[in-house]
Structure 1
Amino acid sequence: MEYAFRFLVGGAVVSAFAVLGDMLRPKSFAGLFGAAPSIALATLALAFWKEGAGYAAIEGRSMALGAVALATYSFAVCQLLMRWRWSALAATLTCVVVWFGVAFALKLALLG
């Protein structure tokens, strides 16, 4: 029963975001709305259904903090690639430390 629910919720949310991405201009936004938001919402819906509102709130807060850490990582990689002309492998591997550092710093600062 749980797998059927996951399939239906995931499929519905992914389809809705795909339609939204198709309607927006420029088309480069379509990829943004295709995966991460739909999977995050499906995960939150399942967490709410299975564990309750408190657990889903913790999941959502953790996703938001992870998104900030990912944005910082992405910015740092772009800087290393474009300004300093690093190779993609070196920039991404180096900035993984930044990603984890920001994620753990935010967790400690905001969540204790």
Structure 2
Amino acid sequence: MSEYVVRFLVGGAVVSAFAMLGDVLRPKSFAGLFGAAPSVALATLGIAIYQHGESYAAVQTHSMMAGAIALGIYSLVVCQLLIRARMRALPATLLSIVVWLAAAFGLWAAAGGQT
């Protein structure tokens, strides 16, 4: 249970720090970008380093980077389907989930899979 308390406190502090950073930057859309994913990732990596060591956290970092790349590919495909193919949102996102899965598992396999 204490892991969740630490994750909550560290995550909250990092979210606050990133929100302040996002408030200073322009455009204001950076505030939401900096407030979510980086803070959760940093809290998770801090706990991973504390509990399992640096090599385990390095594997987690590679997984996070592969996931971010796969999300970027997914987002690009969704935008192309919505704008160029003029698809509705639900079919475009459902179709793009297949692309996301292929990208995520492809990057995971290229990185060596489960170690």
Q: Please classify the TM superposition score into its range, dividing by the shorter chain length.
A: over 0.9
Secondary structure in 1 matching 2:111:
helix
Deviations along 1:25-48, one digit per CA (max 9) or x if unpaired, are: 011111111101111111111111
CA root-mean-square deviation: 1.1
TM-score (norm 1): 0.95
Provide the secondary structure at the position in 2 that maps to 1:70: helix
Q: TM-score, normalised by structure 2?
A: 0.92
Q: Hey, what does 2:22 align to over in structure 1?
A: 21
Q: May I ask how many residue pairs the two structures share in their alignment?
A: 112
Q: Hey, what's the Cα distance between the residues in 2 that align with 1:22 and 1:72?
A: 28
Task: Find the counterpart in structure 2 of residue 48 from structure 1.
Answer: 49
How far off is 1:10 after superposition?
Answer: 1.0
Q: Secondary structure at the match of 2:27?
A: coil
- Identify the residue that residue 89 of structure 1 maps to in structure 2: 90
* 5+ residue gaps, structure 1: none
Q: Give 5+ residue unaligned stretches, structure 2.
A: none
- Stretches of 4+ moved more than 4 A in 1? none
Q: 1:110 Cα shift? A: 2.2
> Quick check: 1:74 aligned with 2:60?
no
